[in-house]
Chain A
Amino acid sequence: MKTIVSNLMFVLLAVLLLVNGCREPEYQSATSTDMLIGEFLEADSATYSEFTELLRMTGNMAFLKAYGTYTCFVPTNEAMEAYKAGKGISDLSELDPEELSDLVKYHVILDTLSTVDFLDGKLRTPTMYGQYLLVATLFEEGESNAYINRYSRIIRPDMRQSNGIVHSINSVLEPITGSIAELIEADSKYSIFTEALKATGYYDLLNTVTPKEQKEKHWYTVFAQTDSSFARAEIYSYDDLLARYGNTGDPSNPEDSLNLYMAYHILDSTLLYLGDLVTKQAVLTLAPSEVVTIRINSDSVMVNEDYFNGELEKGSYLIREESDNTSANGVFHTLENNLFIKVRYPFTVFFDVCDQPELRKMVDKWRVSGQSVTLTNGQLAGIKWHSDNTIKYLVDNGGSLNPGSIINADYYQITLRTAVIRWVEMQTPLLVKGKYKVWMCTRNTNTRKPIYTVSFNGNMLPNIIDDNLTLPKEPWPTDAELLAMGFKRYNYVPADSVYFYSDKHGRVVGRLAGTIEVPTTGTHTIRVDVINNEMGGWWVDMIQFIPENEDQVWPRLLGSGEPVYDYPEGYVPIN
C-alpha cells in the first residue's frame, strides 16, 4: 500500500511538475496588457497618484478595477496641482464631497472611445455626470493637438486597458454649471440677443436645467447672434430689432413675429454640436413647423443656404471658434449673419431606413460589408413592429446582390407575414409641410411574396404593393413606361449601363405607394401592413419622399448614396 501511495505521489509530483513546466512561459507572455484601469493608474503613481487619490476618496476606484467598458480622462499630477491652486486649497478633502464626486463622474464615460471615435464636436456618449464632452483638434503655433472642452490637451491618448481606455489630459475638466441663458448673458457681445431672449420669455426657458439626479436630460441647441451680426443687418439695438420684427407690440406673445423670430433660433429637446449638425439636412426649430437647413461648404457649416428653384439663397455660417459652447442644459452656436424665418418649400427626402442612431453606434456592424445584426422589437427607437419576432439588419458584401444596387449596401430582412410580423411602423426623417409621392424601395424576386399596404399617419395610400414583381426584361421598359406602371429605378449602377444603369436583374426597384400630404413640418409615421401570409420576407432598402411636382426619377442614387442627375450625355438606352 505504502509503495502504491508513494508511487502515486511520485506520479502526481511528476504531473504537477510537467503542468507547471508547461504553463510558466504562457503566464509570462500575457501579463503586461492585462491591467484594469484602476491598476494601471495605481501603477504609474508618478503621473496619476493625485487622481488615483481622488478616485479613492470618492469611492470610485472599485468600478475602475472591475470589468466593464470605460473611457477615463485622467488629469496628470501637475493638472491636479493646478486645479487645487486654482481653488485655493492644499488638499482635495477641503472640497465638498459631492463636488468631488461630480468631478470624477465628469471624467468617466461608460463607453470605450478611442481617438478614432473623435469626430468634430461632442463625444457620442455623455459622461457619468450627464454632460457631454467636446472634443476638438486644434492647430496652434505649428502644432495640432486634440483637446477636451477646448482647454484640456490630451497628452497621451488611447492607452488601452482590459476594461477600457485611458487618455491622460493636462488640465482638470470642470463640469459646466451655467445654463445657455446665463452663458449668453454673461458675454456682452450677445447683448441684443440677450435682451430679446428676455423680452420674449425664452430666457427663462433656456435657463431651466434638468436636475442632476434626473438621468434623462432636456437639452436645447441655440443659434445665438452677436451684436456685430445684427449690425451687419443694420440692427444696432434691441429697439431696432423690435422695430424690424415685432408686430403686436408684445414680444412675449407666441403669435408675435419677434417671438417667432427668436423661437427660430432655438432647437428644443435637441443637442446638436457642429459635428452632429453637418449630418442633418434640416432641423426643426421651436417656431412651429419651421426648419433651418444645414449644409457644408468647404469647411464651413452653413445655415439656411439653399438652392431653391436653382437659385442660391445666401445663408449664414456658424463661426466655428465661437460655436459648440457647452452649457448645463445644451449647446449654443454663434451665427455670422442675421438668421430669419424663411418660407420653406417641400424638398426631397431619401429615407435610408437603416440610418438609425442605434445602428450607427454599432461601429463594427453599421455599413460594414458582410455584417448583420438581429434586432428585437424595441431596440430601435424609430422602428416598431407587430410581435416579438426579430428582424435582421444586413450589409451586403457585394456578392449576393447586384453590387451597388442597394443604397449604402444595407437593408432589413423582415418576415412580413400575417402569421409572423403583421406590420412595421417607422418614424420618418424631417419632412417639410407639403405634398409628396412616396416610393417604397425594396429588393423583389419571385420568391419574395409579401403583398402590403402603406399608410402615412394612419391614412392608407391607394397602391397595394406586391414584392413578387420584378421589372420586365427584353425589351427593358423605358423610364416613362415604368412610371406609368408605378415603378422606377431608384439606384444608379455604373457597371450596368445596358440596363439603364440599374440592377440588371430588375429586382431592386422603387414602387409608388401614393401621394401624401404632410400636415406640419416634422417627423411622421409611415407604416406597412401585410395582407398575405407567404414566405420570402420583405427586403427594404429605403423609402423616398419626393415633392409631387418634382422629377420622380432623377436624381437616382449610387451605391454610396451620392445622387446622379441624369444619364451620361449621349447615352442611348439599348432595348
Chain B
Amino acid sequence: MKIRQIAFTATLIFSIVLSGCNDWLYLEPEDGVIRQDFWQTKEDVHAAVVGMYCSLQNITERGYYTIPECIFSWGEIRADMADLGSRIRPQYSYIKSGDLLPDNTLFKWNAFYRTINNCNTVIEFSEDVPEKDPSFSDDALRSYQAEAYAIRALMYFYLYRSFGDIPMKLTATTNDGEEFTTAKVKKEVVLDQIITDLLFAYDHATYTHGDAVTDRGRVTKYTVAAILADAYLWKQNYSEASKYLDFIINSGKFTLIPRNQYWFTTLYVDGNSVESIFEIQFDQNILNPFYSLYKDNRYLRASADMMEEVFPLDPLANPDSADIRADGCSYKSSDNYSFWKFFGINDEESRERDQSFANLIIYRYGEILLMKAEALSELGNPQEAIQLINIVRNRARAARTTNFLGSETSSDDVTAYILEERSRELAFEGKRWYDILRYARKNNYANKDLIVNMIMRIAPPEKIQTMTNKYRDTLFHYFPIHADELEANPKLEQNPFFEGL
C-alpha cells in the first residue's frame, strides 16, 4: 500500500491545486507547509478539511483511479443494468466476464486510502489547535472532526462492500518513509468500526454549514444519518436504521423534487437540490470523469434488455406519460444508451464535454424513503412500506406494468419489490451491485439465487457455467486485493477466493 504521502502537505497541495472548487472550497494558499507551522489556527483546520473533500473529486494522477470512477464502476459493472459499451476497457471487460484478476488496476484502492489518510490527519492534528487558537471552540473542532469521521466511514463503507475484509488505518501516516503495514480485519469488525465512527460524527456534526449548497457538499448531521442508516441495513439492524431515517424524514429539510418540466434539471443537472443529501461536487474547473469514460469512449452503457425489463412500456399509456426515470433520464436510447443522468442537460440535449460537471449523488431523499420502506418491511410493517414506495413511484409516474402484485401483508414480497423499485429509482447511481449483494446476503445468504440468476442472464453463453459456479461461492462476491498492495504490505493476505492467483 503506497500511502506514504506527507499527508498534511498533500492536503494543502490539494487545497491549493483545487481551489477552483465551489466557493466554499475556495482557499487562499498558505505559505507554510511544515506541520508545526500548519496546525495553528482554525483556518488551518478548515483548509485541511476542504482538502479532504477535494480529494474525493477527480484527482488524476498516475496509478490512481478516481473515487468517482470507482464508486460508479464498482457499483455497476458486476451487475446487470450496465453493459459493456462499444469500446473495450479491459479492466471492465474482465470483471464483466467473471475474471477477477489481482493485477486488474481497477482494484487499486489508493484513492480511497489517500482520502482516509486525509481524514486521519484532520482527526489527529486538529486536536491541539484550540490550545493555540483561542477563537477555535471545542464545538467547532468536534464539528470538523465529525466531517472527517464521516468521510472516513464512507470510504471504508465502499471498501467494505467491495473487498470485504480490509486493512483499517485509523491514525495518520505523515512520514514519507513510513510503511503502511496493517493487516486486514474481518468485515464484521470493519462494519462495526464504520458505525462507531459514524455515531461519533452524528453526535458532533453540524446541522448546517449555513447555506443549502454547502450542506450538500459537506457532511452534515443528515449526511451522517444517511450513511449510518445504510450501514445498519448492511448489518440487518433495521430498528436502528429506521431511527436515523426518521431523523432525516422528520427534519422537514428534504423533499422529492416534484414531477414537472424542471425535475431533471433540478435534481441531476444543477444538483445540490432539496432532494439531495450528499453529493461529490464538480464544477467547470473540476469536471467529473464520466464524460470521457462513458460518452467519448463508451466503455459502459445501459443494457438495452434490462431497460426494457426495468422500465417496461405500457402499451395502453400515452408515451408522454411514461415513467420519467426511463428514456431521457436514466439512459438515452438515441445516444447509444448512455448514462443520461450525467450527460443530459434535459431529456433531449446533451452536455458538451467541457460542461461535464454533474455531481455524483451519494444519497438523496428518494433513496431515504426506499431505505425506510425496507426497514419497515423487514420490521414486519409491509403495508406502511408500500405507502412510502408509492410516494417515490407516484413522483416518477411509474408504469402500471410495474405495479406491486404480491401480498401487501407479506414482508418478503414487499422487500423484494423494493429491490425492483430501487433499480428504477437509483438506476446508474452506482448502487445496483451493492443492492443485489446486500439483498443476497440477508439472513446468511438466504437469497444467493438473486446473484446466481442475474449472472445466468448476463454471462456470455460459453462462460455461463464457469461464471455461475464462481458466483455461487460467496467469497467471489468481493474483489481480490491488487497484487501491488500485497507486495507493498507484507501483512496483507489475499482474499480467500483468490489465494494463489
Residues of A participating in the B interface, judged by any CB pair closer than 8 Å:
115-116, 118-121, 136-139, 142-144, 146, 155-158, 274-276, 278-279, 296, 298-299, 320, 368-369, 397-398, 403-404, 409, 494-495, 497, 558-559, 562, 569-570
Partner pick for A121 among B313, B457, B462, B497, CB 8 A cutoff: B462
The 16 listed contacts between A and B (C-beta, < 8 Å) are: A115-B101, A116-B101, A119-B462, A120-B462, A137-B466, A138-B469, A139-B473, A144-B473, A156-B501, A275-B465, A299-B464, A299-B465, A320-B465, A398-B87, A404-B86, A497-B334
Determine the chain A residues whose CB is within 8 A of the CB of B94 once the complex forms. 116
| B461 contacts partner chain A, Cβ-Cβ < 8 Å | yes
Min Cβ gap A299→B in Å is: 5
Task: Let me know if A120 and B464 touch, CB within 8 A.
Answer: yes
Min Cβ gap A349→B in Å is: 18
Min Cβ gap B248→A in Å is: 39
> Which 5 pairs, one residue from A and one from B, show the smallest C-beta to C-beta distance?
A144-B473, A278-B461, A156-B500, A139-B472, A120-B465
Query: Looking at B319, B465, B467, B474, which has the most chain A CB atoms within 10 Å of its CB?
Result: B465
| B265 contacts partner chain A, Cβ-Cβ < 8 Å | no
The B291-314 residues at the A interface (CB cut-off 8 A) are 298, 304, 313
Task: Let me know if B86 and A144 touch, CB within 8 A.
Answer: no
Determine the chain A residues whose CB is within 8 A of the CB of B298 once the complex forms. 398
Determine the chain B residues whose CB is within 8 A of the CB of A298 once the complex forms. 453, 456-457
**What CA separation (Å) do A146 and B473 show in the bound complex?**
12
Task: Let me know if B86 and A155 touch, CB within 8 A.
Answer: no
- Contacts A299-B465, A559-B86 known; 11 new A-B pairs at CB < 8 A: A115-B501, A136-B466, A137-B465, A144-B476, A274-B465, A276-B462, A298-B457, A299-B468, A409-B86, A494-B333, A558-B304
B interface residue count range (under 10 / 10 to 19 / 20 to 34 / 35 or more): 35 or more
| B463 contacts partner chain A, Cβ-Cβ < 8 Å | yes
Partner pick for B469 among A139, A369, A562, CB 8 A cutoff: A139
**What CA separation (Å) do A136 and B94 show in the bound complex?**
18
Task: Let me know if A495 and B336 touch, CB within 8 A.
Answer: yes
Partner pick for B86 among A115, A403, A569, CB 8 A cutoff: A403
Mark contacts of B385-408 with chain A using CB atoms, 8 A cut-off: 1 yes-contact digit, 0 otherwise.
000000000000000000000000
| B315 contacts partner chain A, Cβ-Cβ < 8 Å | yes
**What CA separation (Å) do A139 and B476 show in the bound complex?**
12
**What CA separation (Å) do A299 and B454 show in the bound complex?**
11
| B337 contacts partner chain A, Cβ-Cβ < 8 Å | yes
Determine the chain A residues whose CB is within 8 A of the CB of B497 once the complex forms. 144
Specify the chain B residue showing the minimal Cβ separation from A278. Answer: B461
| B88 contacts partner chain A, Cβ-Cβ < 8 Å | yes
Task: Let me know if A143 and B473 touch, CB within 8 A.
Answer: yes
Determine the chain B residues whose CB is within 8 A of the CB of A558 once the complex forms. 304
Task: Let me know if B473 and A296 touch, CB within 8 A.
Answer: no
**What CA separation (Å) do A236 and B99 show in the bound complex?**
46
Min Cβ gap B448→A in Å is: 11
Task: Let me know if A155 and B87 touch, CB within 8 A.
Answer: no
| B335 contacts partner chain A, Cβ-Cβ < 8 Å | yes
Q: A116-B99, A121-B462, A139-B472 given as contacts; is B315 within 8 A of A157 (CB)?
A: no
Query: Looking at B99, B464, B474, B475, which has the most chain A CB atoms within 10 Å of its CB?
Result: B464
How many residue pairs at the A-B interface have CB separations less than 8 Å?
96
Partner pick for B463 among A120, A143, A156, A562, CB 8 A cutoff: A120
Task: Let me know if A120 and B473 touch, CB within 8 A.
Answer: no
Mark contacts of B451-495 with chain A using CB atoms, 8 A cut-off: 1 yes-contact digit, 0 otherwise.
001001100011111111111111110000000000000000000
Task: Let me know if B463 and A119 touch, CB within 8 A.
Answer: yes
**What CA separation (Å) do A494 and B500 show in the bound complex?**
45
**What CA separation (Å) do A475 and B336 show in the bound complex?**
25
Task: Let me know if B472 and A494 touch, CB within 8 A.
Answer: no
Determine the chain B residues whose CB is within 8 A of the CB of A158 once the complex forms. 101, 501
**What CA separation (Å) do A136 and B476 show in the bound complex?**
16
Determine the chain A residues whose CB is within 8 A of the CB of B462 once the complex forms. 119-121, 275-276, 278-279
Determine the chain B residues whose CB is within 8 A of the CB of A494 once the complex forms. 333-334, 336-337
**What CA separation (Å) do A115 and B467 show in the bound complex?**
12
Determine the chain A residues whose CB is within 8 A of the CB of B466 once the complex forms. 118-120, 136-137, 146
Task: Let me know if A157 and B500 touch, CB within 8 A.
Answer: yes
Task: Let me know if A144 and B470 touch, CB within 8 A.
Answer: yes
Query: Looking at B304, B337, B469, which has the most chain A CB atoms within 10 Å of its CB?
Result: B469
Task: Let me know if A144 and B472 touch, CB within 8 A.
Answer: yes
Mark contacts of B64-106 with chain A using CB atoms, 8 A cut-off: 1 yes-contact digit, 0 otherwise.
0000000000000000000000111000001001010100000
Specify the chain B residue showing the minimal Cβ separation from A296. Answer: B461
**What CA separation (Å) do A384 and B463 show in the bound complex?**
32
Task: Let me know if B335 and A495 touch, CB within 8 A.
Answer: yes
**What CA separation (Å) do A409 and B86 show in the bound complex?**
8
**What CA separation (Å) do A368 and B89 show in the bound complex?**
10
**What CA separation (Å) do A142 and B448 show in the bound complex?**
12
Min Cβ gap B333→A in Å is: 5
Min Cβ gap A239→B in Å is: 37
Min Cβ gap A278→B in Å is: 4
Determine the chain A residues whose CB is within 8 A of the CB of B457 once the complex forms. 298
Min Cβ gap B323→A in Å is: 16
Q: A137-B470, A139-B472 given as contacts; is B334 within 8 A of A369 (CB)?
A: no
Determine the chain B residues whose CB is within 8 A of the CB of A120 once the complex forms. 462-466
Query: Looking at B87, B99, B315, which has the most chain A CB atoms within 10 Å of its CB?
Result: B87
Determine the chain B residues whose CB is within 8 A of the CB of A495 once the complex forms. 334-336
Min Cβ gap B327→A in Å is: 10
Min Cβ gap B482→A in Å is: 15
Determine the chain B residues whose CB is within 8 A of the CB of A404 once the complex forms. 86, 336
Task: Let me know if A403 and B336 touch, CB within 8 A.
Answer: yes
**What CA separation (Å) do A157 and B86 show in the bound complex?**
30
**What CA separation (Å) do A120 and B471 show in the bound complex?**
15
Determine the chain B residues whose CB is within 8 A of the CB of A136 once the complex forms. 465-466, 469
Partner pick for A398 among B86, B304, B319, B475, CB 8 A cutoff: B86
Specify the chain B residue showing the minimal Cβ separation from A396. Answer: B86
**What CA separation (Å) do A274 and B304 show in the bound complex?**
27
Query: Looking at B86, B333, B501, which has the most chain A CB atoms within 10 Å of its CB?
Result: B86
**What CA separation (Å) do A279 and B461 show in the bound complex?**
7
Specify the chain A residue showing the minimal Cβ separation from B85. Answer: A398
Task: Let me know if A369 and B87 touch, CB within 8 A.
Answer: yes
Specify the chain B residue showing the minimal Cβ separation from A493. Answer: B336
Determine the chain A residues whose CB is within 8 A of the CB of B467 once the complex forms. 137
Min Cβ gap A76→B in Å is: 12
Min Cβ gap B273→A in Å is: 30
Determine the chain A residues whose CB is within 8 A of the CB of B335 once the complex forms. 495
**What CA separation (Å) do A299 and B453 show in the bound complex?**
9
Specify the chain A residue showing the minimal Cβ separation from B464. Answer: A299
**What CA separation (Å) do A279 and B460 show in the bound complex?**
10
Determine the chain B residues whose CB is within 8 A of the CB of A368 once the complex forms. 88
**What CA separation (Å) do A406 and B457 show in the bound complex?**
26
Min Cβ gap B488→A in Å is: 15
Min Cβ gap B313→A in Å is: 7
Min Cβ gap B459→A in Å is: 8
**What CA separation (Å) do A398 and B456 show in the bound complex?**
29
Determine the chain A residues whose CB is within 8 A of the CB of B470 once the complex forms. 137, 139, 144
Q: A120-B465, A157-B500, A279-B462 given as contacts; is B315 within 8 A of A569 (CB)?
A: yes
**What CA separation (Å) do A296 and B461 show in the bound complex?**
7
**What CA separation (Å) do A368 and B88 show in the bound complex?**
7
Specify the chain A residue showing the minimal Cβ separation from B497. Answer: A144
Determine the chain B residues whose CB is within 8 A of the CB of A142 once the complex forms. 473-474
Determine the chain A residues whose CB is within 8 A of the CB of B474 once the complex forms. 142
Specify the chain B residue showing the minimal Cβ separation from A276. Answer: B462
Min Cβ gap A380→B in Å is: 21
Task: Let me know if A369 and B500 touch, CB within 8 A.
Answer: no
Min Cβ gap B472→A in Å is: 4
Determine the chain A residues whose CB is within 8 A of the CB of B101 once the complex forms. 115-116, 158
Determine the chain B residues whose CB is within 8 A of the CB of A296 once the complex forms. 461, 464
Determine the chain A residues whose CB is within 8 A of the CB of B336 once the complex forms. 403-404, 494-495
Min Cβ gap B445→A in Å is: 10
Determine the chain B residues whose CB is within 8 A of the CB of A320 once the complex forms. 465
**What CA separation (Å) do A404 and B337 show in the bound complex?**
12
**What CA separation (Å) do A116 and B463 show in the bound complex?**
10
**What CA separation (Å) do A404 and B473 show in the bound complex?**
37
Specify the chain A residue showing the minimal Cβ separation from B470. Answer: A144
